[in-house]
Each structure stands twice: as structure tokens, then as C-alpha cells.
Chains A and B, each alone.
Chain A
Amino acid sequence: MSDWTFERPPELPLPQPSEESAPFWDALKERRLMLQKCAVCGAISHPPRAKCGSCGAMEFVWQASEGVGEVHSYVITHQAVHPALTGYTPFATVEVALAEGVRMTSNLIDTPPEQVAIGQPVQVEFMDVGEGVVLPMFRRQQGK
């Protein structure tokens, strides 16, 4: 499996940032994973929100994430239910539970679909996908 490399289907949509999420995507361009943090109660949210889900405040700061977590769940697309996936199946998508307590949808860049497992410790890896867009991808934590 060491020679297996994730190939991202080029026709998959690229993220269209909103006002709330723009700082998240902008930080990725500098290869930093930032999470939205409530300026009042400190609750971390992802995806970014307009209003804190814990205390209702509408002021936020951005906190650097460690970028580590584990696979919370995953799916494997076998039938190309979207034209972008044609020729790229089976294709695994994972949901990563980050150490900060939020979940993030992503792909594993070093793990073939048949080896993806819930609980696998992972760490973030940045992927430049062109057009100035960097996506947060994940790989297995070393030695785990």
C-alpha cells in the first residue's frame, strides 16, 4: 500500500467560500488549518457559523488546529453517481473527528479505499488543487 496515492477527480466542485467561511479557506492557502472559535465562550465550530451554537455570541476568532484526529466514519462510492466521479471509483470519503472536537469531511491521501477504517489516527496534509485553492486532506499518523 505504500505506493498507493490518492488521485483527486479534477471535476469535483471546488469550495465556494461564504462570508463566514472565507477566513478558513484563506488560511488554507497559507497551509494553515484554522478553526472558528467563539470570542465569548471559546466553543470551536466547524463548518463556521454566523452565531455560536453554545452561547449565541456573534463574535469569533480563528485558532490554529493541530490537524490531528481520527476517522469517525467513511463512505466508498462504487457507482459514479456524479459525473465527476466517473473513472475514479471506488472512491473513499472520510469524516475526521479532530482533536478539537469538531468533524471535517475529507479524503485520505495515503490509504486505499479498502483499507479505510473507523478509528484510524490521521493528520492533516495540504493539497494544492489549482486555481489558488488548497484543501485540507489527511494521512495516517506516523507509526499508527
Chain B
Amino acid sequence: MSFSNAVAIAGVGETDYSRDSGRTELALSLQAIGAALDDAGIAAAQVDGLMKWFVDTSSEAEVAVNLGIPDLAWFGEINQAGNVGAALVAHAAAAIHAGLANTVVIYRGVNGRSGRRYGRGDVTGQGGRGAGAFTEPFGLLTPQHGLAMSARRRMFETGVTSRQFGQQAVIQRKHANRNPRATFHDRPLTLEDHQESRLIVDPFHLFDCCLESDGGGALVLTRPELARERRPDRPLALIRAAAQSGPGQSSPVHRTAARLFAMAGVERSDIDVVQIYDHFGPFVLFALEDYGFVEDAGHFVEDGGTMWDSGKLPVNTSGGHLSEVYLQGMNHLIEGVRQARGESTSQVPNAGLSFVDTGIGTGAVILERSDA
């Protein structure tokens, strides 16, 4: 049996999003998992797999005990930073497809604002060790530093501009303004606000940078038959294709894209709605080009191509990391599922194929709507 559509994301759940959760990261994960299981209509005792972000502080063992899982048959994590969401979905779905587990929960709970802040070099720095020996002594100390370096070069090579980056930030803010869960639900953003916002690491302005957030999210993966039996009342999000890519330079995005679209058996033009990992907004534009959706993302965004309702290909319809929450791709996966089920606050009509990228160097998934 083909991997395509053999596994469903049967449930999604999240906590409230804030700057100071007042809860432990374990409590955030457990709350989100509870919501996702309720959404799927599946009891915790039926879960036999757990996967988490490598950087997540709540171990599978702790979560299993707290959920009362009687037989944990599959667990694991992927040794990268925030950008592992799609890779975890690929691993969990592969385990279910292979018969190694029946129902796998993927979770992420983080106090990323009130606790360890990823934008701070003293949190993410390597003290001059490893690859950091060649960058940190010269002032490249944070994720934004390395990414700003490649963004600057790309601006030089393609002519894409900060104003075009700003247009995407404005579009995502409009999506967030429609999403009551979003951190910036009540705060509009103009292109002038973006351009006048302070530079963090030039070329990144403040509003090119993701939020820092406290919150949790979870996904429940299982076989479509079980998912449908539990929730016969609504469309189901099937995993049409999943592709992992290697970290660093070990698999360029265009190769990941080729594998992903070959597995799905669809063209870029068949995709109805897109979520892209936006640790920094400019990378939304770069990914649109690298995945092959458009040739000139700067002008595509400038013309409103990524805007919900009017654009040709709506992108980051929940607000993304820039304006909804920084849950390191978990919120992109949740929104991708909602689009496939017809439940987004910026719903693309008749979205049959929902694409989610969760970060350069780890992969993407294509979700397919399957009507009840």
C-alpha cells in the first residue's frame, strides 16, 4: 500500500498563546495534547506513540506517564532546532504506515518568551565551539545572524527588497487580525510601520522577525479508518505526501520539493493554500521560489499574491510566526490541517490540497481534504 493518504492528522489542539503562560512547558504540552485528542475523539489510553521537538523539555516518558499511556510503542525526536515539524510528521506517519504504531501524538510546549528566548545569543550560542568557532568570534551569535547573511546575499542577487519583505509581513498581519487566537489579533500593521520599525540585524527589521511566545500545540496521527469512525461528521486531513530534507547543505530545498511533489503526484499549481516557516519573513519569499511555486516572489507578494481571499496563493493564513505565534512550525501544521478541513479563520474555499513547510532543511507535507 502506498504511503500517500495512508495516515491522517486526525486531531489538532493548542493552548492559549501569551508572553507569560504561568505554566510549565510540560503543562502546556499536556493541555495541547488533551485538546488535540478531544478534537480527534480519541482517548489518551489509545495513544501508543509520542514524538517531540528535540529542543522540547518535556520527555516522552514524562508525557506518557501523565497521559496514562499503557504501552508506548514508538517515540523519538529529531536532532535539529525549531524546524522539525514536517520531519516529525514524516517519521510518525512512516511508523504508522509500517505498523509500528497505531496512534502517534506529536507535541511542542514552550515558554519561548517568559523562559529561554531563542532570539538571544546567550541562549542559542555555542561558546565558540563546533561550527560556532568560525562565526561567533566575529559577531554571528544568533539564528537571525546567519539567516540575515543569506538574506542580504539573496537581495543582492535577485533584487528582492525590504519593502517586499514588508508586504508579506503586512499580509500575514491581516490574516492574524482575522484569527482570534493570534497574538497580534488586535494590532494592525502597515507597510510604513514595517519600514520604520527598528533594525534588529540589518537587513531584518523588527517586523521581519518572528514573535517570541509561550504556548503549546499538538497533532494526533492515526489511520484514516479510525479517524473517520471517531469523527464521521467532518472532512479529514490526509497526509498525501511528506518529505524530509537533510539539515544544513545536505539537501537543498529544490530536491526536497521534487521528492514531495513526485510522491503527491500533483503540480505546484494544484496546491490551494500554503504555510511556510517564517522565523524571518523574508524566508517566506525565498521558499516560494525554492519550492517552485513562483519565479519572482518579490513581485508576487507586492501584487498581493499571498493574501487570503484575493491572492492567487494565500500564504500563512493564521498569521504565521510573525503574527500568530512562534510555535516553531507546530502552528503552521495546525493551520494546514484546519485549511484541509475547511475550518480556518481565513479559509480558502474548497481547499483540497494544503501545503505546509516547517523550515529550511527539514521538510514539508502536503495534506489532502477527504470529505466525510
Q: Which residues of A does B touch, CB under 8 Å?
A: 9, 12-18, 21, 25, 46-47, 72-79, 81-85, 90-91, 93, 95, 104-107, 118, 129, 135
Contacts of B126 in A (CB 8 A): 13
Q: CA separation between A129 and B136, bound complex, in Å?
A: 14
Check B121 against A79 for contact (C-beta < 8 Å): no
B120 to chain A: closest residue by CB: A81
Q: CA separation between A17 and B127, bound complex, in Å?
A: 11
Check A105 against B129 for contact (C-beta < 8 Å): no
* Minimum C-beta distance from A14 to chain B (A): 5
Check B141 against A81 for contact (C-beta < 8 Å): yes
Q: Which residues of B does A touch, CB under 8 Å?
A: 119-122, 125-142, 144-145, 148-150, 152-153, 156, 198-203
Check A77 against B130 for contact (C-beta < 8 Å): no
Contacts of A118 in B (CB 8 A): 152-153, 156
Q: CA separation between A43 and B176, bound complex, in Å?
A: 49
Contacts of B129 in A (CB 8 A): 16, 18
Contacts of A47 in B (CB 8 A): 131, 133-134
Contacts of A77 in B (CB 8 A): 139, 145, 201-202
Contacts of B142 in A (CB 8 A): 81-82
Contacts of A46 in B (CB 8 A): 134
A97 to chain B: closest residue by CB: B153
Check A83 against B140 for contact (C-beta < 8 Å): no
Pick the residue among B119, B134, B201 that contacts A75 (CB under 8 A): B201
Known: A81-B121, A118-B156. A73 touches B137 (CB 8 A): no
Q: CA separation between A21 and B130, bound complex, in Å?
A: 9
Contacts of B202 in A (CB 8 A): 75-78, 90
Contacts of B203 in A (CB 8 A): 75
Q: CA separation between A90 and B119, bound complex, in Å?
A: 17
A-B contact pairs, 28 of them (CB 8 A): A13-B125, A13-B127, A13-B136, A13-B141, A15-B128, A16-B133, A17-B133, A21-B133, A47-B133, A76-B201, A76-B202, A77-B201, A78-B199, A79-B200, A81-B201, A82-B142, A83-B121, A84-B121, A84-B139, A85-B139, A91-B139, A93-B139, A93-B149, A104-B134, A105-B134, A105-B138, A105-B140, A107-B138
* Minimum C-beta distance from B321 to chain A (A): 17
Q: CA separation between A75 and B154, bound complex, in Å?
A: 12
Pick the residue among A13, A14, A93, A104 that contacts B145 (CB under 8 A): A93
Check B156 against A93 for contact (C-beta < 8 Å): no
Check A79 against B201 for contact (C-beta < 8 Å): yes
* Minimum C-beta distance from B281 to chain A (A): 16
* Minimum C-beta distance from B102 to chain A (A): 40
Q: CA separation between A106 and B90, bound complex, in Å?
A: 38
Contacts of A9 in B (CB 8 A): 139
Most chain-A CB neighbours within 10 Å: which of B126, B133, B139, B149? B139
Q: CA separation between A14 and B119, bound complex, in Å?
A: 21
* Minimum C-beta distance from A121 to chain B (A): 16
B206 to chain A: closest residue by CB: A79
Q: CA separation between A124 and B107, bound complex, in Å?
A: 48
Contacts of B140 in A (CB 8 A): 75, 93, 105
Pick the residue among A21, A81, A135 that contacts B200 (CB under 8 A): A81
Check B133 against A84 for contact (C-beta < 8 Å): no
* Minimum C-beta distance from A83 to chain B (A): 6
A83 to chain B: closest residue by CB: B122
Contacts of A91 in B (CB 8 A): 139
Contacts of B149 in A (CB 8 A): 73-75, 93, 95
Check A14 against B130 for contact (C-beta < 8 Å): no
A91 to chain B: closest residue by CB: B139
* Minimum C-beta distance from B10 to chain A (A): 40
Check B153 against A15 for contact (C-beta < 8 Å): no
Pick the residue among B137, B144, B201 that contacts A13 (CB under 8 A): B137
B129 to chain A: closest residue by CB: A16
Q: CA separation between A140 and B41, bound complex, in Å?
A: 65
Q: CA separation between A16 and B127, bound complex, in Å?
A: 8
Q: CA separation between A81 and B129, bound complex, in Å?
A: 19
Check B199 against A12 for contact (C-beta < 8 Å): no
Most chain-B CB neighbours within 10 Å: which of A18, A25, A74, A93? A93
Q: CA separation between A75 and B142, bound complex, in Å?
A: 12
Contacts of B152 in A (CB 8 A): 73-75, 118
Pick the residue among A18, A73, A106 that contacts B138 (CB under 8 A): A106
A136 to chain B: closest residue by CB: B138
